[in-house]
Structure 1
Amino acid sequence: MSPSYVAVLSHPGAARAFGFALLGRLSYGTVFLSLTLALTATAGSYALAGGVLALFGLAVSVLSPVRAWLVDRYGPRRALPPMAGLYAALLGCLAVLTWQPGAPWWLLAVLAAAAGGCSPPLGPVMRTLWSDLLGDQRLLQRAYSLDTVAEELLYIAGPLLAGLVAVVVDPAAGVAMSACLVATGTFALVTSPAMRPGAAPAAARRRERGPGVRALFTPVVVAAALGLCLGALTLLVVVFAQRQQQPAAVAWVEAALSAGSAAGGLAYGAIAWRASGAVRLRLLAAALGLAVAAAGAVPNLAGLAGAAAVAGLFVAPALTTAYLLADELAGPRNRTQAGAWVNTAFNAGNSLGTAGAGLVVERLPLEWCFALAGAPLLLVAIITSPRPRRDVTACCRPSPLPAPSSCPPRCPARARRARRPARPPRSRWPGPARSPGRRSAGSP
């Protein structure tokens, strides 16, 4: 019988640590919209606000593996508090400067870039903590599915909360709220009982040898292609709705995508899969690519919402499998870095996908743009497939029979045996050979 999600949260300390991690990660759902509104209000220019926000997002994504390496090197209880403290302080400075118009744009850019570089990697840390807490692979699959779905829901609830605070109080208050959320959640997480058992193994893991992040080709490449696909899909949905003269319907399509992703993620975690993680990841990537490519053929927004819901069924499962495979391949020494690399690849792909869709949407029919959006996932499903190799060990194995004709002509083992001189036959007796009629001395 497959373990339930209740069994995951019933593990000692798991529910408390998960709740604190979600509280801190809610900051990442509120901070982007809050910064956008606050910077626009104080700078009076969308171009300046967009540039400062781009610096913030670039620092968050590019430096994520470095911050994850610090967590793996020193442990979360030593590495996370300084990051969270600096991040919250810098966001607080941005909130103060943007409360009134007229702040120097260069100072805002410096503070935003510094804040992005200090953001604590709470998502990768929580996934590493799941691996430390849960020894059962089936429980770990459920935990990762629950984590992925919850994180996606945070990115839906976060902008809603930020918009409410901006309307009721001020956009800068949303930036200050983001600072309070990340500080409270991070400090509560590192002091939770679930972190204490992982302190000793963390020191031991630093002395172990693991394959490192070089082995993460498949999950990182698939995560990047997934980001490309979803980033392009976001813009294509907006263009589709505008051409249908219903721009407000974009929210319904996005909601359908998120609902499908949540349903797919929860269902995926509940199934005991027999196929390996690499095989599942390739199949999920191909299915999502086909679903997005087919979405361009729908005639109206209702059909697009339905297609988005179908495509969403594969989003959370694909991300969950990428995180699971990265955790498996990275080894115990750098699992936080593995999750950070998957995050970075997804975020970078998302940005590139949106930019690429903007370049082609005015030059190609919209149906072709949807097909191009799904193409990266189909391509990586082919690239990451294992290649068949000829087994040369069977023909190179010593055998009294002659080597088969299928053996490679330059087989090293066969060539060595051909050059080896023939040995004289060895006698069955340990001493010198005797003639058949001779007896040894002392015999009767």
Structure 2
Amino acid sequence: MTSTVAMPVAPPATAPVAWSTVLRLPHCGRLLAATLTGRLPHGMAPVAVLLAARADGLGYVAGGVLAALYGAGVAVGQPLLGRLTDRAGQTRPFVVSVLASTALLLVLALVGAANFLLAAIITAAAGLTSPPLEAGLRALWTSIVPTPNHLRAAYALDSGSQELVYVAGPLLATVIATAADPRAALGVTALLGLAGTLLVAHAAPSRTWRPAEPRPVGTAGALHPPGIRLLLLAMTAVGAALGALNVAALASAERHEAAWLSGAVPAALSLGAIAGSALLSRHVWNAPLHTQLTISAAAFTVAWLPLQLDTPPLVLLLSAVLPGIAFGPLLATAYCCIDVLGAPGTITESFGWLISAFGIGTATGTATAGAADGSWLVPAAAAACALLFVLTLRPFLTPTTSPRTEAP
């Protein structure tokens, strides 16, 4: 599954490829920065919508529902827009979808959330039309990096840097809402998404990108290969672990009477993910892809065990870094698996389904952890389920396959 610019087949590297090397390649730094900017609404919009709802007199439940509707819209829209992108290229789907999403968020900023039904429709539609930048960038990497080892470093950079969206996004929305008002935060969210997307769409690799092979016949599309379905189930379980983390962190904060833990623990995991992704790119790992995925998933599962102990808040905070360190390499390896397992001509849709799997998993984990009173057993159990699904992938990831090294 490749783009129109074929990646040369290269022998295994003897030296790692640094993130700085990837960023110095033509287009790479600009595309990554523009994509992160265009994706900021994914981190900002739920918080801005919740704050706008509170400012308009709605309760936390109604505000939470509105924020969840945006996330649900994103989860549904990413694979659908990804399928359209695989057929029409990136330019038109990106531009049309971002114009629609921007207009909807600006309308919400103008009318507010006092009318809950209207706000719910607008919010869900804004999420549904959010452009598939994340999947689009992963489809582009193969056309802008020269070797498979550069590609793996790019995936590690991608998986690490995306944490910035969910750390900086909520913080930026909160700061703007506090300094001005929540509606201003919605307006800035819309404009940042528009600016980032237009920068991506204007870049030469995005304008010229087309899937190299025709789509398979059938409505299943990217979900047709059984291997991709198993990988998505594994990533859904990974998302459930991360969703449960937020509730478990809140419960721990209340139990220890340390309110700062509720935000610090998820932030610690995000920092761990950046560190883990950076470590992955600094070392050459020539093991078979399934071995890499299994070791990463096993490490992710084991990393939750220290959090089961009744430890002081500071130790709990440091322990939260461990699942993050394993999560970064696990996610980057999953990206490589998409390249091997995905059906020809469905690269953007396949990555779109991966995003949806995480969204569904996160919501499921949050609900389950809530029912379990924030027990740390929930994310550990979800991680163990992810490992079980990964183990079933062995027949589909043979030792001879490697990401995007096949001739077109």
Superposition TM-score tier, normalisation by shorter sequence:
0.7 to 0.9
| Residue 140 in structure 1 maps to residue 151 in structure 2 | yes
Conserved 8 A contact 1:145-1:268? yes
Q: How does 1:151-300 map to 2 (within 5 A)?
A: 151-198=162-209, 201-202=210-211, 204-206=212-214, 212-215=222-225, 216-300=228-312
Q: 1:63 aligns to what SS in structure 2? A: helix
Deviation sequence 1:186-243 (CA, Å, 0-9, x none):
1111111222442xx43x4336889943331342122111111111122112111211
| Residue 334 in structure 1 maps to residue 346 in structure 2 | yes
Deviation sequence 1:172-197 (CA, Å, 0-9, x none):
11111111011111111111122244
Q: How does 1:338-353 map to 2 (within 5 A)?
A: 338-353=350-365
Conserved 8 A contact 1:55-1:109? yes
2:116 corresponds to which of 105, 114, 127: 105
Q: CA deviation at 1:358?
A: 0.9
Q: How does 1:277-426 map to 2 (within 5 A)?
A: 277-361=289-373, 369-386=375-392
Deviation sequence 1:339-374 (CA, Å, 0-9, x none):
11111111111111011011112xxxx7xx323421
User: Which moved further from structure 2: 302-311 or 349-358?
Assistant: 302-311
Conserved 8 A contact 1:34-1:171? yes
Q: CA deviation at 1:43?
A: 4.0
User: Which moved further from structure 2: 142-151 or 20-29?
Assistant: 20-29
Conserved 8 A contact 1:94-1:175? yes
Letter paired with 1:295: L
Question: Where do 5+ consecutive residues of structure 1 fail to align?
Answer: 390-444
TM-score between the two structures when normalised by the length of structure 1: 0.80
Q: CA deviation at 1:285?
A: 1.5
Deviation sequence 1:225-279 (CA, Å, 0-9, x none):
1111111122112111211111223333233222211111111122211222222
Equivalence for 1:67: 81
In 2: Cα distance, 1:110 partner to 1:213 partner: 28
Q: CA deviation at 1:22?
A: 1.5
Q: CA deviation at 1:154?
A: 2.0
TM-score between the two structures when normalised by the length of structure 2: 0.87
Deviation sequence 1:86-123 (CA, Å, 0-9, x none):
0000000000012xx7x422211111121121111111
Say how many residue pairs are matched. Answer: 377
Q: 2:99 aligns to what SS in structure 1? A: helix
Equivalence for 2:44: 30
Q: CA deviation at 1:164?
A: 1.0
Q: 1:72 to 1:293 in 2, by over 3 A?
A: same
Conserved 8 A contact 2:256-2:313? yes
Q: 2:303 aligns to what SS in structure 1? A: helix
Q: 1:4 to 1:384 in 2, by over 3 A?
A: closer
In 1: Cα distance, 2:255 partner to 2:89 partner: 51
Conserved 8 A contact 2:236-2:360? yes
Conserved 8 A contact 2:365-2:378? no
Q: CA deviation at 1:332?
A: 4.5
Equivalence for 2:5: none
In 2: Cα distance, 1:241 partner to 1:388 partner: 40
Q: 1:23 to 1:388 in 2, by over 3 A?
A: closer
Percentage of matched positions with identical amino acids: 31
In 2: Cα distance, 1:174 partner to 1:105 partner: 19
Conserved 8 A contact 1:165-1:174? yes
Deviation sequence 1:360-398 (CA, Å, 0-9, x none):
12xxxx7xx323421232233234325999xxxxxxxxx
**Larger Rg over CA atoms:** 1
| Residue 42 in structure 1 maps to residue 52 in structure 2 | no
Letter paired with 1:268: L
Question: Where do 5+ consecutive residues of structure 2 fail to align?
Answer: 1-14, 396-408
Letter paired with 1:154: V
Q: Give the structure, 1 or 2, with the largest relative contact order (CA under 8 Å, sep 6 or more).
A: 2
Conserved 8 A contact 1:281-1:318? yes
